[in-house]
Amino acid sequence: MSTPNASGWKPGTPVTGHNAMSGPDTATGNRALMLEEPLLFEIGHVETTGVDLPEPQGGANRLGGFDRTAPIGLPGLSEPETVRHYTRLSRQNYAIDLGLFPLGSCTMKHNPRLNEKVARMPGFADIHPLQPVDTVRGALEVINELAFWLLDLTGMHGVAMSPKAGAHGELCGILCIRAALEARGDAREVILVPESAHGTNPATAAFAGYKVEDIPATPEGRVDLEALEARLGPDVAGVMITNPNTCGLFERDMKAISDAVHAAGGFVYCDGANFNAIVGKVRPGDLGVDAMHINLHKTFSTPHGGGGPGSGPVVLSEALSPYGPLPFTARTEDGVVHLVEEENADEFEHTEAFGRMTAFHGQMGMFTRALAYMLSHGADGLKQVAEDAVLNANYILRSLEDVLDAPFGPSGPCMHEALFSDKGFAEDVSTLDLAKALIDEGYHPMTMYFPLVVHGAMLVEPTETESKAALDQFITALRSVAERAKAGDDTLKSAPHYAPRRRLDETQAARKPVLAWNDLDMA
């Protein structure tokens, strides 16, 4: 039972008398704290500028006659105008610091402020990748320590720390597989990927030059082991399997899958984006995985969304470790952590690296945040992360399965995310309409139309950092829009009604984006 707070409001009950939208039009279009904001080009003037530099004195013009003759045509803004423009825009955004962010497969958990404090320590924040190694020993210690914990949590043999996102990690893992196969003179051409896979999996395999073939799923939403075994053969380089998978289910046959793939001479890539559901509980190394990326920005709480940096270290089996990319860190017997690069790879007996993924060592700011998160949680805390993430998802699944179709609900508990379909919606109502109505309820929509194996899919991942009160309020919102979708409520088709803009033409925006302001006479 939820208890009323001081104002008498109980979590989950609608607030009445809310006047942000009702009332007369205003002259500015602003509505109290909800501010309209034109484009920079509409507010800027070429005569205005936020900087005041003296005209350059002396010194020869070295532009070789290519200097601009006409004005550049960019809008000038003063510093306060610039600050206000971006602050106003930022207030129209949704953020994990504003509310529950139910995007399935994305693990939008709270970013602990302790991580931020650690990452901002000058010894970490103010260093540069081109500094002499002797001046960044502490940073190398952090990378090495994080690598140690990633290996400990996954039961794997080696780790490439440099990939900068999950998809980048996938590419790194597949390039390791390619290098291992080439080293034994084995030109296999096919990578098998389940239909429910994240789009990055087939894209990665194709980018690395492989042919991609689907692995079918069972009616329970898991990889069909028999069908997989039937397809294995001398042309299959490997499989890419997400575990827990994108239907929110654990692949129970993972060990049997790995054994079958290995027996057929292939390698097993595991997409580890959903590691949050099993961290501290299951070690992918024990399941026969050869390579798996870990999204530090998902499982280990480093911020993401809005295009911020990610980080996708890849853990590798003993068979693949020799091919891992440079650079990486290694501790010698004297206790010193070294950066292993081309010039000292011999000394560290790492001469078969397939190459490198990045110019430098990877996302240092994400490493410090992820390590701070791990050490502050400890082994027991990380285990509880997985348990609470799964508990929260099952609470959502079971609280809503009377109004929303849960295609895999009958197969038992889900892992970290609850999957629903649009079955039972009124004829002309779609998942998109429901998602738009959820915006009116003050939530970022869940992941929609993914995985592809479920019609009108809605994938909800609450994460462990939501309280029961927050979950209850979200469930109330989702229940309400689901009931309207089933009843065929017309107002859903025009939702959102309360967002700064209504429905945008998303197809047009994607196909024909307007990227330039053509009216240069704006002054």
Smallest distance, Å, CB 8 to ligand PLP?
41
Residue nearer to ligand PLP on the CB measure, 295 or 321: 295
Task: Name which of 278, 217, 270, 225 is nearest 407 in CA terms.
Answer: 217
Report the residue number whose CB is nearest to ligand PLP: 166
- CB under 8 Å to 233, separation ≥6 — which residues? 264
Q: Rounded to the nearest 5 degrees, what angle is found at the Cα of 254, between the Cα atoms of 386 and 285?
A: 65
What is the phi/psi pair of residue 419, to 5°? -110, 130
* Range list of β-strands (E), 77-147: none
Binding to ligand PLP (CB under 6 A) within 41-100 occurs at none
- Is 146 an interacting residue with respect to ligand PLP (CB under 6 A)? no
Cα gap 104→459, rounded to integer Å: 5
- Is 295 an interacting residue with respect to ligand PLP (CB under 6 A)? yes
Contact map string, positions 11 to 40, toward ligand PLP, x by CB under 6 A: ------------------------------
- Is 198 an interacting residue with respect to ligand PLP (CB under 6 A)? yes
Residue nearer to ligand PLP on the CB measure, 339 or 458: 458
Specify which residues 214 forms β-bridges with: 193
Contact 427, 469 (CB under 8 A): no
Q: Rounded to the nearest 5 degrees, what angle is found at the Cα of 240, between the Cα atoms of 234 and 245?
A: 140
Peptide bond before 500: cis, by omega within 30 degrees of 0?
Answer: no
- Is 276 an interacting residue with respect to ligand PLP (CB under 6 A)? no
From 165-173, 343-351, 426-434, 452-460, span contacting ligand PLP (CB under 6 A)? 165-173
- Is 243 an interacting residue with respect to ligand PLP (CB under 6 A)? no
In the numeric block, which tokens belong to residue 173? 């893992």
- Is 200 an interacting residue with respect to ligand PLP (CB under 6 A)? yes
- Is 242 an interacting residue with respect to ligand PLP (CB under 6 A)? yes
- Is 445 an interacting residue with respect to ligand PLP (CB under 6 A)? no
Contact 438, 94 (CB under 8 A): no
Residue nearer to ligand PLP on the CB measure, 215 or 330: 215
* Range list of β-strands (E), 168-283: 190-194, 211-215, 236-242, 267-271
Residue nearer to ligand PLP on the CB measure, 198 or 338: 198
Tell me which of 37, 271, 441, 466 binds ligand PLP, using CB under 6 A: 271
Task: Name which of 269, 247, 246 is nearest 257 in CA terms.
Answer: 269
Cα gap 249→453, rounded to integer Å: 13
Smallest distance, Å, CB 142 to ligand PLP?
21
From 140-148, 163-171, 278-286, 339-347, span contacting ligand PLP (CB under 6 A)? 163-171
- Is 193 an interacting residue with respect to ligand PLP (CB under 6 A)? no
Residue nearer to ligand PLP on the CB measure, 251 or 271: 271
Contact 496, 437 (CB under 8 A): yes
Residue nearer to ligand PLP on the CB measure, 367 or 425: 367
**What does the binding site for ligand PLP look like in residue numbers (CB under 6 A)?**
105, 165-167, 198, 200, 242, 246, 271, 273, 295, 310, 312
